[in-house]
Structure formats: C-alpha cells, structure tokens
C-alpha cells in the first residue's frame, strides 16, 4: 500500500522532461487517479449525505 501522502505528489510541479511527450497517457492516468484520491478524502457534509440518501 502506498503511503497516505503519495497522492499529494500529483499537486507538485512537473518536470516535463521526465514525461513521455509522445504518449503521456500513463502520466495523465496517474495524475487523475491521485486527484480522485484527494477528492475522495474530503468528507461529505451531513446535509449533502442526507439530501442524496433520500433520493
């Protein structure tokens, strides 16, 4: 399991010379996965939980 701070590296400056310019798919997949992890770590307010649970 990766350390809990690992996804925050997705917010760091990018060294573009280390990114494959021809096919940045792997890089973008990792960035999007890290971003999703960060978003998912934010708790949902109780009001939103209640509103979505009643649907």
SS (H, E, C) 4-26: CCHHHHHHCCCCHHHCCCCCCHH
* pLDDT tens digits, one per residue of 38-51: 999 998 888 877 77
Task: Go through the chain and tell me how many residues it has.
Answer: 55
Q: What is the pLDDT of residue 4?
A: 79
pLDDT tens string 2-32: 677 888 888 889 888 888 888 889 999 999 9
pLDDT of residue 20: 82
* Residue 25 C-beta-side C-alpha neighbours within 13 Å: 2
**1 pLDDT band (50/70/90 cuts)?**
low
pLDDT at position 34: 92
């Amino acid at each position: 399991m990766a350390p809990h701070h690992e996804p925050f590296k997705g917010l760091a400056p990018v060294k573009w010379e280390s990114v494959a310019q021809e096919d940045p798919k792997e890089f973008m997949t990792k960035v999007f996965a890290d971003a999703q992890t960060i978003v998912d770590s934010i708790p949902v307010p109780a009001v939103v939980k209640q509103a979505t649970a009643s649907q």
